[in-house]
Structure 1
Amino acid sequence: MSHASDAAATPDRPRKKRNPVWAAIREVLIIVVVALVISLVVKTFFFRAFYIPSGSMEQTLQVNDRIFANLMAPGPFELSRGDVVVFRDEEGWLPPIPSPESNAVSDFFTFVGLLPDPSSQHLIKRIVGMPGDTVECCSADGRLSINGVEITEPYIYPGDNPSDSEFTKTVPEGKIWVMGDHRGASADSRFHEDLQDGFVDLSAVEGRAAVISWPLDRLGGISGEDEVFAGVPVPANQ
């Protein structure tokens, strides 16, 4: 009984010698292609890099931080009060930006999702009100309340008030009410009442900020501060 491999070992048909240089190049190319495919899949479906250009989320996020956002929230994972979210500027909260300078290296890393896209207009804020919630500020002792329950917000920038302007907002279906942690330096929902009454479409949310990736001394997760909102009841209309 013979095997297919026997013929290749006979004197009449000597085994072809592999070119070690080409074999090494081919392996490197395969690794690069696989890495690119994985990066594109991750960028498209799982995580994406973003850059923090302002201090509106201090102290949670600092100027020049790089973060990764979980693109599966909203989606397979739901959003909740306290989540820090990245959303597209569909309502024109930000002024237009000039076309950024680029080079082949940065364009490549942006394409595969390892660097943020500098041409995209995104904002990052914390969700304070979900659909159906009534968000109000401020109470007699200066705190913000949700559905009639006052909350204490330890993530607010030291020295800031929960809000220097008073408001009462009931969040419509499909919208969220967002605020920056640096309340005195954040042009958030409070400052855009002329645009959808300050609300952000849930459909504009790109993802939930999950990890600070740079600088390395700030590497770590980004908290949704669940304990702050634990006592908030379900809206009466739900």
Structure 2
Amino acid sequence: MTDSDARLPERDPAPAPRRAWLRWSRSVRFWVVVLLSTVLITSLTSAYVVQPFVIPSGSMEGTLQVGDRVLVNKLAYRFGGDIHRGDVIVFDGAGSFDAETADDGPLVGLIRGAVAAVGLGTSSDSDYVKRVIGVGGDRVTCCDAEGRITVNGQPLDEHYLYPGDEPSSVRFDIRVPEGRLWVMGDHRSDSADSREYLGSPGGGTVSEDRVIGRVDWIGWPIGRWSSLRSDHG
């Protein structure tokens, strides 16, 4: 028997359609892994570090415009950082601005979270964005003889107000309870804020525990890229 006779017959290579199928299958698996990894990283970042948020109304004009995508710093207050007057915050108004909302269930919550993670919506219908005017212990009053809001007797320099707006058309005099905040929109004539909810639980104030984070940057549209400097009182 010759060497050539002893050789085993070579196996035929996989047919072309099968090779194409294997290449396609590997490619699909690769991109599925990439997609799932991206979603996981984005979700974790949104949940614990920075969350995109869409501005839904004109209550913060001209600081924030309708449709702006802002980035909310969720670490700003997480490790003992103080909430300051002048901070622009996102908070959950359930129980103060809104009645307690019913749980929509895990599936709806997951969908809301995924949409919020990419900045196409909010994680809750009760999320608000406003500016902090008074913190716990402050006495906030409208208005002095010159029509200015005062905090602890000192008038505020509210250069961020929407052009033509007065500080407030609603008179109030409130002592902010400890652990709570008095918040207002920059577009005072188009903002349902603490003034609107004086008769609600908390007297229009918001619990610090409901604060989601501080708005630090405008990320979209490109022409409005900027950081927001807090106007501390």
Decide: shared fold, TM above 0.5: yes
* Paired position in structure 2 for 1:187: 192
- Equivalent of 1:143 in 140, 148, 160: 148
Q: Could you say which residue in structure 2 is the equivalent of 1:218?
A: 224
Kindly indicate whether residue 102 of structure 2 is the aligned counterpart of residue 89 of structure 1.
Answer: no
Of 203, 207, 211, the match for 1:205: 211
- The partner residue of 2:160 within 155, 161, 165 is 155
* Cα distance, 1:108 vs structure 2: 9.0
CA, structure 1 residues 225+29, in 2 after alignment: closer, same or farther (shift >3 Å)? Answer: same
Deviates more, 1:116-125 or 1:173-182: 116-125
Match of 2:121 among 116, 122, 131: 116
Alignment-derived partner of residue 132 in structure 1: 137
In structure 2, relative to structure 1, the CA distance for the partners of 1:88 and 1:138 (3 Å cut) is: same
Q: Secondary structure of the residue that 1:124 maps to in structure 2?
A: strand
**Post-superposition CA distance 1:115-146 (Å, at most 9, x none):** 32375321111000011111112111111111
1:35 and 2:38 are equivalent in the alignment: yes
Aligned pairs, how many? 201
Partners of 1:133 and 1:111 in 2: how far apart? 33
Cα distance between partner residues in 1 of 2:179 and 2:98: 22
**In 1, distance between residues paired with 2:139 and 2:124?**
35
> Quick check: which has more Rg, 1 or 2?
2
Q: Provide the C-alpha distance between the structure 2 equivalents of 1:108 and 1:127, rounded to a whole number of angstroms.
A: 25
Q: Structure 1 pair 131/111, CA: closer, same or farther in 2 (3 Å)?
A: closer
- 1: CA distance between counterparts of 2:114 and 2:183? 30
Q: CA deviation at 1:194?
A: 0.9
8 Å contact kept, 2:86–2:133: yes
Taking every aligned residue pair, what percent have the same amino acid on both sides? Answer: 36
Q: Is the 8 A contact 2:69 2:119 kept in 1?
A: no
